[in-house]
Amino acid sequence: MPKNSATEATPLLQDSSASKAHEKVYERFSTSQKRAIVGIVSLCGLMPLFISGSFIPSIAQIAKDLETTGGTVSLAVSISIFATSIGSLIGSSYSGYYGRRPVYCYLLPISVVGSVGVAVAASIPQLLFWRFFQAFGVSSGLSVGAGVIGDIYNLEERGTAIGIFFAAVLLGPALAPLAGGAAAHYASWRAMQLILAIAVLLVFISVLLILPETSHPGTRGVDKREVPVSSRNSLKLTMPVILNPFKPLLLLRSPNVLIVATAVFLTLAVDYVLLIPMAYTIGRKYNLTNEAFVGACFIPHGVGNMIGAPLAGRISDRIVAQYKLKRGSWYPEDRLRAALLPALILVPLSVLGSGILTAYVDGPIGLIDMVLSPCSAYAVDILHSKSAEVSAANSAFRAVLLAFWIMAILPLVENYGVLAADSVAALLGLFAFGLLWAAISYGETLRSLVDLDYSKEENN
């Protein structure tokens, strides 16, 4: 009998030992090192949004300079989103094989060259060509950045860390339009592109000097490839590996991943309805001819996101811990509860209110904005071993949809008015709430439909 008891206890002891061993992987870096790492990857994540945000206020000036229409120039926004999605897939795939650091080191210089190319573009085809490479080079900032956060923070700290990461990243929407507008008004839109080239170069140097490799030991593809072999086979090991960049998209087979990615797309679609037409709607209504002032109109939006991101992250960590204690086990979808209130109230009501006030009220009272709460920590939680890949799949999915949506925004506003466009956006926000509610209510059932080797509590 004692022997049987010992035997029955052994799996529990093994699980406990495995869990403690896994926890040690998060102790490789000190608190100060983790903060430095988060700071560096936040700068990398800031660049895509800064490049995108600084462009929007100068659309009217670019259209005049290149003798075209604002709608044509706005294609550059769609091109950058498409480039970001492709680059994110490539970067995440290679970050899982070679590590996080090499991806940053190889891609960031491409953006430097692309930014210089945009600055000297003399036609729309040239602008679109260089805009692709400008965005491609910084494309991994969000997906690989989320992977880095997952590498260094455990389950019950991850939401707060990703919230802080996004708060820093969302400085882009807060400050980039003002910077781009000021540069366009007081110098030219081309000057801003040269400033971006210098900024990305400085971030690249910071990565080279400070950022360590954060991938868990032995988990990279190259770690499994580099084993003692004969000298003949060793030559093959030094050759670069060609990976399928679209493989992360297979993670969208998961209903959970797809539902949350769709909800985030719908929320961002609401976001862009406010942002893209700002120079043509709010700028004209309030007679803002100074691009810097138009850019300043983006500040409340960015500040709201900066406040909401870390707050939602911290709340989601608390919800995970509370429900885990209550249930006695971890239920991944509990983290999404932190996004329900913003999706139900803040997103649709803010955009609808903006449409009503902009359409019917004269004066600056119409300048209100919204708060967007990210759901990235959930994707990292359920597929922790593929954190960068699932983040990239999410980004690519919503980026492709956003590219088409952005092309439709200005025609929608011009043909049907601001209020109609904002009303459609409010309905999209409510639909996002419905999707998040479904993910929370049926999360376990949905995960059982497609087996993607989801993360468990003991290896998260």
Domain assignment of residue 11, yes or no: no
Give the tens place of pLDDT for each residue, 43-70: 999 898 888 878 877 888 888 888 888 8
Give the tens place of pLDDT for each residue, 189-234: 899 999 999 999 999 999 999 999 998 888 888 877 755 544 445 4
Question: Residue 148's pLDDT is what?
Answer: 92
Contacts 24+ apart (CB under 8 A), 233-240: none
Domain assignment of residue 21, yes or no: no
In this structure, what CATH number is given to the domain that contains residue 324?
1.20.1250.20
In this prediction the pTM is 0.71
Residue 128 has pLDDT above 70, yes or no: yes
Domain assignment of residue 255, yes or no: yes
Question: Residue 205's pLDDT is what?
Answer: 95
Return the residue matching tokens 């993910």.
439
Residue 173 has pLDDT above 60, yes or no: yes
Domain assignment of residue 187, yes or no: yes
Question: In 3-state terms, what secondary structure has residue 66?
Answer: coil
Residue 319 has pLDDT above 80, yes or no: yes
Domain assignment of residue 240, yes or no: no
Give the tens place of pLDDT for each residue, 240-292: 778 888 888 888 999 998 998 898 888 878 877 776 666 555 555 556 555 55
Domain assignment of residue 18, yes or no: no
Closest by CA to 138, choosing from 77, 55, 80, is 80
Domain assignment of residue 54, yes or no: yes
Closest by CA to 250, choosing from 145, 397, 382, 439, is 397
Question: Residue 136's pLDDT is what?
Answer: 94
* Number of domains making up the chain: 1
How far is it, in rounded angstroms, from Cα 151 to Cα 95? 12
> What is the DSSP track for 215-264?
SPTT-SHHHHH-----HHHHHHHTSPPP--TTGGGGGGGSHHHHHHHHHH
Residues with Cβ within 8 Å of 329's Cβ and at least 6 positions away in sequence, in order, are: 457
Question: Residue 311's pLDDT is what?
Answer: 75
Domain assignment of residue 305, yes or no: yes
Instruction: Provide the residue range defining the domain that includes 372.
Output: 31-215+247-459
Rg, the chain, Cα only: 23
